[in-house]
Amino acid sequence: MMLNFGIISTARINHNAMLLPASKRDDVFIKAIASRDLDKAKEYANAWNIPTFYGSYEEILQDPTLDAVYISTPNALHVPWVKEALLKNKHVLCEKPFAPTYMDTLSLIKLAKSKGLLLMEGIHYNYHPAVQKVINELQDGYLGEIESVFTQLGITTPMDDDIRYQRELMGGSFMHLGCYCLHFIQNILNVPLTLSNILVERREEEEADIESVGNLKSEKTEGKFFFKATFKDSQLNSFAKIQGTRGNLTIFSPFNPVYQKGKRFIDIIKINSKGIRDFQLPPNLFGQSCYDFQLEAFVKAIKKGDLKPRVDERTAALIEQGQMIMKADDYESKDRMLLAS
C-alpha cells in the first residue's frame, strides 16, 4: 500500500518532519506541495523533486490522488486547514500545537471520527520507543509517587523576521515549545492538570513571548510541576527532572533523544536511586529520529485501520488556559521572570 502525501506550506520543518522520513520508506510518496505563492511552490517542488505543486491550499485539497496531508502552516492556521482537509477526505498529520482551544480540538476529533479518517498531532518525541518506555515506567510507579517534575525546552534565538515572534499567528515560546513541556508533564502524571500561573518575557510589547515559565497543579496529587520554554538558548537545550518517592531521574534532551553525533538514548538518561530494578530501555536505533517513528506510527495506523485520533485534548486545555492567563496579565518585565529561579 502506497500512501500519497501532500504538504500544506513550505515551512522549514518540512525537511526533518516529513521529507527526510518519507525518503527512507517505500510506502510513502510526497506527491504534492502547496504554497499561497505559485512561484514559491514551484521552486520548492523543483528543489525537493516533488512532482506536483499548487499555488493555494484549497487546490491541493482538491487533488483526488492524495490520501493524506501534512500541515505545517503557522499555528493560527492549523484549525481551519485541518477542518478543510478532513472535509476533503484526507488523513491529517498536523504540526503542534494542534489547536489553540479545547473545544476546537474536540470538534476536529469528532469530525475525523465521523469521516473515518486518521488525525494526528505532530508531538514527535512521544513516538520514540525509548521515550514511550520511560513514560510507561513512570506511569507504572517506577519512581513511586511523583513529587515534582521540571522540564525545559530551549532553542537558539530566531531571526528578527521569524514568524514565531508574531502574536497574530500564535507564535511565541509558549505555543511553539511550551506545548511539548505541557504534553510531557501531562503524559507522566496522567491525571487532570491545570495551569496556575505563567510568567513571560517579550522583546517588544506587541510581539509574542520569547520566554515563558509556568507551574501546574492537580487536585488528585500533591507535587510541584514546572516548565520553561525559551528562545534564548545558544543551542537546542532540553531536559526533564523527575523526583519520586523512590528516587529521581533526569533525561537530557527528552524531546530529541537521538543526537546528531549519534549519542544513544541510554547515554542521555540518568537515574539517582537505590533499591530500584534496572531500567531496561529498548535497544538504540541509530539513524532513526522521532520524526521517523512518528511517520511510522501514522502509516501503520492507516494500514491497520486503527483510526482513533492521536491528539491529546488535555494538552489543548492547558494551552488554552495558558493563553488566557497571558492575555489577562501581559507580563512584560524581565524582573518578573522569577518562577524559574
Any domain includes 206 = yes
pLDDT by 10s per residue, the chain, length 341:
899 999 999 999 999 999 999 999 999 999 999 999 999 999 999 999 999 999 999 999 999 999 999 999 999 999 999 999 999 999 999 999 999 999 999 999 999 999 999 999 999 999 988 888 889 989 999 899 999 999 999 999 888 888 898 999 999 999 999 999 999 999 999 999 999 899 999 988 888 999 999 999 998 888 899 999 999 998 888 899 999 998 888 888 888 776 545 555 555 566 666 666 666 666 656 668 899 999 999 999 999 999 999 999 999 999 999 999 988 755 444 444 444 33
DSSP string, 45-66: HHHTT-SEEESSHHHHHT-TT-
Number of domains in the chain: 2
Tens of pLDDT, residue by residue over 157-175, are 888 888 898 999 999 999 9
Any domain includes 195 = yes
- For residues 180 and 66, membership in a common domain is answered with no
Any domain includes 306 = no
Final residue of a structural domain among 101, 125, 149: 125
DSSP state, 177? I
Tens of pLDDT, residue by residue over 215-259, are 999 988 888 999 999 999 988 888 999 999 988 888 888 887 765
Greatest extent of the chain over all pairs of C-alpha atoms, in Å: 63
Structural domain that includes position 233 = 126-290+320-336
29 phi and psi angles, rounded to 5 deg: -130, 120
- For residues 25 and 104, membership in a common domain is answered with yes
- For residues 130 and 7, membership in a common domain is answered with no
Which pLDDT score, from 0 to 100, does residue 79 have? 98
Amino acid at 319: I
- For residues 253 and 168, membership in a common domain is answered with yes
What CATH number does residue 114 fall under?
A: 3.40.50.720
Any domain includes 307 = no
- For residues 211 and 279, membership in a common domain is answered with yes
